[in-house]
Every structure is written in structure tokens, then in C-alpha cells.
Amino acid sequence: MPVQVQITEGNIEVTPSVGGLATGMMSVNQTFDSLWIGWSGVVADVNRKQVDIALKKEGCVDVQLTHEDVELYYEGFSNKTIWPLFHYFNQFVEFDEEKWQAYKRVNRKFADVIAENMEGVDKIWIHDYHLLLLPQMVKEKFPDVTIGFFLHIPFPSYELFRIIPWRTEIINGMLGADLLGFHTFDYERHFMSSVRRLLGYDININEISLPKRIVKVDNFPMGIDYDKFHETAIESQKHSIRDKSEVRKELERYSLLYPETRFILSIDRLDYTKGLINRLEAFELFLQKYPEYQEKVILVMLAVPSRIGVDQYQQMKSEVDEVVGRINGEFSTINRTPIWYFFRSLPFENLVDLYNYCEIALITPIRDGMNLVAKEYIASKTDGRGVLILSEMAGASKEMSEALIINPNDKAQIADTIKKAIDMPVEEQMERNAILQERLKRYNVGKWASDFLNSLDKVRLREQKSLAKRLTPASKNLIMKKYCQADYRVLFLDYDGTLTGFKNNPKHARPDQELYDILDNLSGNPKNKVVLISGRDKETFQEWFGNRSYTLIVEHGVWLKEAGGDWKMIEPIDDSWKDGIRSSLEFYVDRTPGSFIEEKSFSLVWHYRKSDPELGLNRAIELKDELTSLVANMNLEILEGNKVVEIKNRGINKGKAALKVLQEKPTDQIIAVGDDWTDEFLFSELPNEAITIKVGMSQTIAGYKVENFEEVRGFLKQLACEQ
Ligand code: GDG
């Protein structure tokens, strides 16, 4: 929550919260007509009513957690399983069924509180790793509401994520959202990889096609309230001595006594991900390696207490105390202590004073989703001076390349970089900071939030458009009516994915009796011409449908067979190119386990449905790349279908073949159904009055959409009942 509730001797005190998310969202929350639902930090057994009233004034609603919830859900699954796992600290990860159950239970509590407050709500923005299951829970209850989700911490690589026993539930939980946001492209990429490997969904650049809807994934690097930091820093310098903060007075007093002193600032929550020990040891190494600075440099280290209920945090506190003690013991003199260590949180103005005053900021997390402190430090620099040393493991490093970027595990590098920072000429500091400040000012927290919310609006609009295309009972009735009025009707039906589901081996997708019955009933009506139009080879279709009374078009429009007739080529074509291309494809088969080549009369197809999904996709991209240059002067084209890459003669497609069929006789009504993008050729060539139906939820020019092949069969059965 953006506020914290404290109860002292019966009095309720509401104060702003400390922490990246809370600080950032505070300004956003005030800009929108919104309600913030969260846990106030107060456990259930106190005077609830007063707490609720106090929170309501701040636009907040409390989700009541019990002591058990706090232990098992918050300190437990959230902070002992997800937090360490997602930050690559797998040595700290606990897998405990009871904690997982609590995580589910509390996510459900959130869903219930949302449900109680749904009046007039059209958008929900869910934040962070404590609520990974919530998007799905809300979506199930309120399918029409638009849900955004933002993860403030890293999303780990699949190799790490896969170790969690409840990985599929977690991914499915997140996929309840319509838009998923991450700080960086890497986290987005890792998430996509887990989706592909665990659930096998198709991914098109940054869109995931679920059976019923599309989920968009994007990166939105979180910014800060730049002006607030910058202006507070300016104001603070105008204060008279009396009004200055204690922190500033102390720093200025010290500088007067020892003008050559350089202050290095370190600020974080006390957390093992923040790399405090490494930082201290690197500082120690710096003092050893460059003794001339021993009396001239002070590390001001502010460690804000955090998650004190979790063991590792208590252990870390003792460890930090010990290392600070050791270094101070080693390097202190009567007048000087090299590390000023504070284990507490400071008021905002003091924080800004520290940012503004210290010449160097040393921010060295081992892993960090973003790290706002780095940005706040730069924003608080009013004269352009100051050097930021930043870990490459912080999401912020992706946008702040003008900082001195270090590997947090390389203490020698950090020590040398401190030296470099001290020696950096003022002009260079100002040059680097000017670029950083410009960027932070522009892409501030307001922009971050509005970018996310605008994307969410776009997703919603697209969803509405897509929903408008759904084949509803009303639109079905309309089609039936047109169908019944027509004397001659042509039905173009794609096969795989349209009349039947996909199988790992295409040979296994044989038609079943139900399908034969539907097609026989339709083609048995003399007013109908049923055309199966597919990318399949003619031998397979001959075997499955050769003796049926349907027209067959195969190989995307190379061959045509009328009922009872022979196979004819629609246009004469040449296949002499196949030998050359086959050897390239064989090379890919050898290097991609599970993939194979299918040979048709006038095309070659590389299938990778059975291969590792990531490898298959990467190889498909490589293959397409290689083929593009290979076929440049040959009259060939490369088609990418559903887990296949197909090379065939140019200018042949389902659309052209369909027009050939339509030339034979005037048609009163055309109905075309197909699932992949090769069917888009068909939809686009047909006259406007044709009824075109897409199977699946992805983009289409078809007029209607249905969910899956079962729905197509249901619809065709209905048609077959009409005359
Ligand atoms: C998580 C992710 C991601 C710190 N000390 C005091 C104080 N702070 C404020 C800072 C800053 C915030 O706390 C810390 O934010 P960070 O981003 O550095 O880190 P986390 O708390 O771990 O935040 C992180 C973030 O979410 C946002 O998505 O960047 O990667 O781990 O805003 O100003 N504020 C006050 N007194 C203090 O003593 N008033």
C-alpha cells in the first residue's frame, strides 16, 4: 500500500510507505480515479473499523490477513520461495506445500475483496510477485474486465523457473492478465520462454495466443518522480542553517573540518539481493589497494530494515554489522570512521540531502528488478556533478549506460571503479549526468504508468474488436438465413486446425467418423459444393477423401480434384528446384531433434512441432533467413505456418485456387473457414459478400471468429440440418 498503518496505544497513524513500488505508485494513484486494494500491514485482530475508516480516506481498502497468512503467505511463499527464486538465490528457496496453499488462499482473498469493489470498475492493475495467481482468479470471475499485471522483480530464466513445483499454475495465473509488463526486455524474454516451454502456446513477437484470447507482453522500465527529487534537492540547499536537516548539517560540518573528504553513498533495503556484503568488501579492498584515500573517503551506508520476520534477513543483518565493524576497526582513526552505518529509514528530505550531497553513489545489487535508488540519486543532483557506480545486474543498468557499470561479484573491478569515480573530471561527470537526467525527466513514473495504462487501453480495444467478431447465436442465425435463401452454395473448408485438431505427426490427424458424417451430409445436398482446401499433399487426401463427393484442393492450390474426377494441376508448374533446397532442409533436420521434412509434389515442408519449442522457433528463423537469400532468384516463396516452414512456387495460394472453382458457375453464397494465415489468402480473394470464419483468436481479415475446430463442427452440423 502507498501508506502504512501503525497502531500505538489505540491511536491509528497513517504514514507514507517506503519501498520502490509504493513510492513510485503514490503519485500515480493520485492522478486517476482509482481504488488501491492491498494489505495495510495490520493483522486481523485489532479494531478493524477504525483502520478501514482511516484507509478509506486515503483511497485504500485493506485485505485482512491473519498472523498465519503473514507467516505462510507473506514471509513464507512470497519471500522465502518466489523472491529468492526470481532473484537467482536458489540456495534460499523453500518449497513447502503449506506455504503454497497459503499463497493460493491469500490470492483468493484479494480476488474476493476485488469482487466486493467491482462496481464501475473497468480496469484492474495488479502489482508484483505476491499476487501472481490473482489475474487468473479475477479473469475467471469477471471475463470482461481488462487486467494489467506488472512484475517489479526480475523474471528468471526458464532453467531456474522450471525448478518450482507449481510453475504451471503460476504461469497460468499470470496469463489471466491481458497485458503483462516487466522492467526489461530480458525479463519479458524469460517469461515468454517459460510460456512456450511449459504450455506450448504460440507466440507472435510479443503476443501469446491462448485458446480464447490474446495476452500482450511488453517491457515498461519504471521511472521515478523526477521533479519531486530534483526540486526537493533545490529547496533543501536554500534552507538557512537553522532549517537544514541534521543529515545535511552533519555532512557540511564534516566537510568544513576535512575539505578533502569524498562521500560515497549506499542506500538499500537490507536484503541479500542488494549485495551489501560484496559492496563492503569491495570498499575494504579499495582502502587496502589505494591507501592514500584511507583518510579521505567515507562510505555512508543506509540499510533500511526489511522483512525482519524472514531468517535470512536477520542473518544478513548480523553479517553486515560484523563486516562494518571489522572494516571500521581496521581503518578508523581517532577522528575518522570510514563507514557511517545507519540501520533505519530516514525521512524523505534527509534521503534527498544524502543523494544531493554525496559525490559518489555505490549501488551494487547481485540482482535487482530495476533499482530506483540509482535513478533518484541522479535526479537529486542539482549541479550536474556526481558519479553513479551501478551493477549490471540491476534492471536500471539497461537504461543508464552513462553510469560506471560494474559486475557486483568482481570486487577488484568495484575497487578500481571507486578510484575512477573519485578521479573523474567534473566536465565528464556533468556530461554523463546531463544525458541521464534528460532521460529520467522524460521517462518519469507518470510516463511509465500512462504508457502501461495506454497499452492496456489498446489491448482492451483490440479485445473488444475481436469479441465483436465472435460467432454469436445471433450471427449464426443470420448466416443460416442467407444460407437457406441461396440456391447454390460453395463451402471452402481448410482441414488441419479447422475440421480437426493438430497432432504431433500430421499423418495421425486422420478424419474420424463424425467428420465424414458432417461432410457427407453437407455435400449430399445438391445445393452445396463442399471444397476441402488444404496445404496437405495429394496422396494423403486421395487416401482419406478420394472416393468422397467433395472437391479437393491440396498443396495450397497446386492440385484440384472434383468429386469422381482425377487430380489436375491448376496451373503448370516446375519442381526442378527441389533437390537444391532439400539438402539445406536436411542440414536443419540433423541439427534439430524431432524435426522432419515432408515432401509434396510442388513444395518441401520442414516440420518442427515435435522439437523443443524454443530451439524449433530459433531454427525456423535461421532457416527462413538462409532460404531467403537462396531463393532470391528462383520463383519460390517461403511460407511460415503452424510449426512449419514451407517452400513452394510463388503465386500459388488458396485464394487463387478458390477463384478458379468459383469461375465454373455463379454462386449465391460462399462460406470459407480456416485457421492459419495461409487461409488469410483465401479470405482476402473472396468477394465481399462471402462469409469468412477464422478459427482461433489471433488477428484476421475474416468477418467472424470461432474458438476451435469443435465449434466449427457444431456450426457445420447446424448448416447440414438446413435445406
Ligand atoms: C522493488 C524491486 C524495483 C529507501 N530508503 C529510504 C527510502 N527508500 C526508498 C527509495 C526508493 C525505494 O525505497 C527503494 O526502491 P528500489 O527500487 O531501490 O528497491 P526495492 O524496494 O527492492 O523495490 C526493485 C522496485 O521494486 C520498483 O519496481 O526497482 O528492483 O526490488 O524509492 O527512495 N525512502 C525513504 N527513507 C529511506 O530511508 N523515505
- What pLDDT, in 10s, does the model give residues 68-96? 999 999 999 999 999 999 999 999 999 99
Rounding to the nearest 10 degrees, give the CA dihedral for residues 221, 222, 223, 229.
-150
Task: Give residue 371 CA to ligand 1 midpoint distance, Å.
Answer: 7
pTM of the model: 0.85
Closest residue to atom 9 of ligand 1, CA basis:
19
Confidence band, pLDDT 50/70/90 cuts, at residue 271: very high
Q: Which three cell numbers stand for residue 356?
A: 544531493
- Of 4, 219, 220, 370, the one to substitute when testing ligand 1's pocket (max ligand atoms within 8 A of C-beta) is 370
Domains in the chain: boundaries: 3-219, 242-442, 472-571+652-721, 578-649
Per residue in 349-388, is it b (16+ CB within 10 Å) or e — as a string? bbbbbbbbbbbbbbbbbbbbbbbbbbbbbbbbbbebebbb
User: For residue 164, which amino acid is it?
Assistant: I
Stretch among 10-19, 104-113, 420-429, 449-458 having the lowest mean pLDDT: 10-19
Q: Among the CATH numbers 1.10.1740.10, 3.40.250.10, 3.20.170.30, 3.40.50.2000, which is that of 242-442? A: 3.40.50.2000
Confidence band, pLDDT 50/70/90 cuts, at residue 396: very high
Residue numbers annotated as active site: 494
Stretch among 18-27, 120-129, 365-374 having the lowest mean pLDDT: 18-27
Stretch among 8-22, 249-263, 430-444 having the lowest mean pLDDT: 8-22
Q: State the closest ligand 1 atom to the C-alpha of 16, by its place in the atom list counted from 1.
A: 39
Per-residue pLDDT tens for 168-198?
999 999 999 999 999 999 999 999 999 988 9
- Of 18, 247, 301, 398, the one to substitute when testing ligand 1's pocket (max ligand atoms within 8 A of C-beta) is 18
Per-residue pLDDT tens for 650-680?
888 899 999 999 998 999 999 999 998 889 9
DSSP letter at 593 equals T
Pocket flag, ligand 1, residue 445 (CB < 6 Å): no
Task: Give residue 223 CA to ligand 1 midpoint distance, Å.
Answer: 12
Average pLDDT over residues 111-122: 95
Class of domain 472-571+652-721: alpha beta
Rounded Cα distance between 354 and 80, Å, is 32
Pocket flag, ligand 1, residue 18 (CB < 6 Å): yes
Rounded Cα distance between 196 and 194, Å, is 5
Pocket flag, ligand 1, residue 20 (CB < 6 Å): yes
Pocket flag, ligand 1, residue 616 (CB < 6 Å): no
| pLDDT above 80 for 25 | no
Residue pair 680/466 in contact (Cβ under 8 Å)? The answer is: no
Number of H helices, E strands in the chain: 26, 28
Rounding to the nearest 10 degrees, give the CA dihedral for residues 122, 128, 132, 137.
-20
Pocket flag, ligand 1, residue 153 (CB < 6 Å): yes
- Of 222, 279, 373, the one to substitute when testing ligand 1's pocket (max ligand atoms within 8 A of C-beta) is 373
Residue pair 499/709 in contact (Cβ under 8 Å)? The answer is: yes
Per residue in 78-93, is it b (16+ CB within 10 Å) or e — as a string? bbbbbbbbbbebeebb
* pLDDT for residue 2: 80
CA distances, 566 to each of 50, 539, 546, 657 (Å): 84, 12, 9, 16
Residues 6+ apart with CB under 8 A from 306: 269, 270, 271, 313
Residue pair 286/415 in contact (Cβ under 8 Å)? The answer is: yes
Pocket flag, ligand 1, residue 23 (CB < 6 Å): yes
What is the distance between the terminal CA atoms of the chain, rounded to a whole angstrom? 63
Q: Which CATH superfamily is domain 3-219 in?
A: Glycogen Phosphorylase B; (3.40.50.2000)
* pLDDT for residue 9: 76
How many Cα neighbours within 13 Å face the side chain of 52?
Answer: 8
Specify the DSSP element, H or E, that contains 491: strand 489-493
Pocket flag, ligand 1, residue 371 (CB < 6 Å): yes
Three-class secondary structure of residue 703 per DSSP = coil
Pocket flag, ligand 1, residue 351 (CB < 6 Å): yes
Beta strand residue intervals within 322-432, DSSP E: 339-342, 360-363, 387-391, 404-406
Closest residue to atom 34 of ligand 1, CA basis:
18
Task: Give residue 376 CA to ligand 1 midpoint distance, Å.
Answer: 10
Which of 53, 45, 50, 37 minimizes the C-alpha distance to 1? 37
- Of 353, 371, 443, the one to substitute when testing ligand 1's pocket (max ligand atoms within 8 A of C-beta) is 371
Domains 3-219 and 242-442 share a fold: yes
Higher pLDDT, 371 or 612: 371
| pLDDT above 80 for 685 | yes
Pocket flag, ligand 1, residue 21 (CB < 6 Å): yes
Task: Give residue 644 CA to ligand 1 midpoint distance, Å.
Answer: 46
Q: Which CATH superfamily is domain 578-649 in?
A: Trehalose-6-phosphate phosphatase related protein; domain 2 (3.30.70.1020)
Residues 6+ apart with CB under 8 A from 664: none
Residues β-bridged to residue 567: 561
Closest residue to atom 36 of ligand 1, CA basis:
346
Per-residue pLDDT tens for 513-540?
999 999 999 999 999 999 999 999 999 9
Task: Give residue 279 CA to ligand 1 midpoint distance, Å.
Answer: 18
Which of 595, 631, 443 minimizes the C-alpha distance to 505? 595
Three-class secondary structure of residue 337 per DSSP = coil
Per residue in 585-614, is it b (16+ CB within 10 Å) or e — as a string? beebbeebeebbebebbbbbbbbbbebbbe
DSSP letter at 336 equals -
